[in-house]
Amino acid sequence: MPSLKDLKNRIASVKATQKITKAMKMVAAAKLRRAQEAAEAARPYSQRMAAVLANIAQAVGADDSAPALMTGTGKDDTHLLVVCTAERGLCGGFNSQIARHARDHVRKLLAAGKTVKIICVGKKGFDILRREYASLIIDRVDLREVKKIGFENADQIGHKVIALFEKGEFDVCTLFYSEFKSVIAQIPTAQQLIPASAGPVAAEASDASAVYEYEPDAGAILTDLIPRNISVQIFRALLENVAGEMGAKMSAMDNATRNAGEMINKLTLNYNRQRQAQITKELIEIISGAEAL
């Protein structure tokens, strides 16, 4: 049975923790809003990009001039997984969810006899995947120093991926990130980057089937466009990730604050009960002492 003093100390310590989690929640909320704004601001670009890409893809069609980044190498022996996670923990199951999704994928690929290579973006994913697949991780990108994710960060990763592709290091590239649905729901998602799948967008963009003039020609534009599109997809994934991380952190910290509150209530009750018991005990001692006289 802890003494009164112990209880008092524990209450104080839980209270201090609660203060921290509360502050972290508020910080996360503010950052979430900013992250959401950034994601919102980036949307027009990726939407236009998808529409334009679909348009050109249609124009080029099944032409042989389509670049390899779009058609792929014709094989699917080696897979590259780009796993984007957060740099920091304390955000509930956010990082482990993405990592688990990636891990399932790796397991499936390995079982099918494929070669797997992994690039980790973000420290947490690296920490988790390192335990099982350390030998498969070929590179990691650290964004710890980056305050606000800019297009350059995504572009760097994009260049890396494309350079690897040009060297023939892999056949299929898949991007793992967490899609931001709402503050409480982030869905780990896998998206195929290379070969670029223009499937769903192609159908809806066909309304603008105006006959375009291309300068230089459609093939050249496509060659220019697709690497850029890869960077844009990565950029979008990173932004969604930041928003998701902050959302997850906010709800995790909210939970922690609530738990701390419950704990304080329980401890206080305990404390009061013990204090009461002690007072009663002292009274009984005095009374029985007086009666004995």
Contact 272, 2 (CB under 8 A): no
Q: Which of 14, 32, 42, 84 binds another protein (CB under 8 A)?
A: 42
Which residue, 14 or 205, has its beta carbon nearer to another protein?
205
Of 160-189, binders to another protein (CB under 8 A) are none
Using CA atoms of 237, 65, 205, 236 in order, give the dihedral in degrees to the nearest 10.
Answer: 10
Of 65-104, binders to another protein (CB under 8 A) are none
By CB under 8 A, tell whether 56 contacts another protein.
yes
Using CA atoms of 183, 187, 193, 198 in order, give the dihedral in degrees to the nearest 10.
Answer: -90
By CB under 8 A, tell whether 213 contacts another protein.
yes
Question: Residues 84, 91, 120, 173: which is the catalytic one?
Answer: 91
Give the x/- contact pattern for another protein in 216-235, rule: CB under 8 A. Answer: x-x-xx--xx--x--xx--x
Would you say how long the chain is, in residues? 293
Asked about 84 being catalytic, the answer comes back as no
By CB under 8 A, tell whether 210 contacts another protein.
yes
- Nearest distance from C-beta of residue 246 to another protein, angstroms: 18
By CB under 8 A, tell whether 45 contacts another protein.
yes
SS3 of 83, please?
Answer: strand
Pinpoint the alpha helices (H) of 1-93: 4-60, 68-71
Q: Tell me whether residue 269 is exposed, middle or buried, using C-beta atoms within 10 angstroms of its C-beta: 0 to 12, 13 to 18, 19 or more.
A: exposed
- Nearest distance from C-beta of residue 271 to another protein, angstroms: 53
- Nearest distance from C-beta of residue 44 to another protein, angstroms: 5
- Cα separation, 16 vs 28, whole angstroms: 19
Amino acid (1-letter code) at residue 92:
G
Which residue, 206 or 255, has its beta carbon nearer to another protein?
206
By CB under 8 A, tell whether 55 contacts another protein.
yes
CA neighbor of 137 nearest in space, from 160, 110, 109, 118 = 118
Exposure class string for 205-216: b at 16+ Cβ within 10 A, else e: beeeeeeeeeee
Cis amide prior to 188 (ω within 30 degrees): no
Would strands 186-194 and 115-121 be described as parallel, antiparallel, or unpaired? unpaired
Amino acid (1-letter code) at residue 197:
S
- Nearest distance from C-beta of residue 214 to another protein, angstroms: 5
Which residue, 7 or 82, has its beta carbon nearer to another protein?
82
Establish how many alpha carbons lie within 13 A of residue 165's alpha carbon, considering only the half-sphere containing its beta carbon: 31
Q: Which of 27, 38, 90, 110 binds another protein (CB under 8 A)?
A: 38
- Cα separation, 97 vs 245, whole angstroms: 11
By CB under 8 A, tell whether 215 contacts another protein.
yes
Give the x/- contact pattern for another protein in 98-137, rule: CB under 8 A. Answer: ----------------------------------------
By CB under 8 A, tell whether 41 contacts another protein.
yes
Instruction: Point out which residues bind another protein (CB under 8 A).
Output: 38, 41-42, 44-46, 48-49, 52, 55-56, 150-151, 154-155, 208, 210-216, 218, 220-221, 224-225, 228, 231-232, 235
- Residues with catalytic annotation? 91
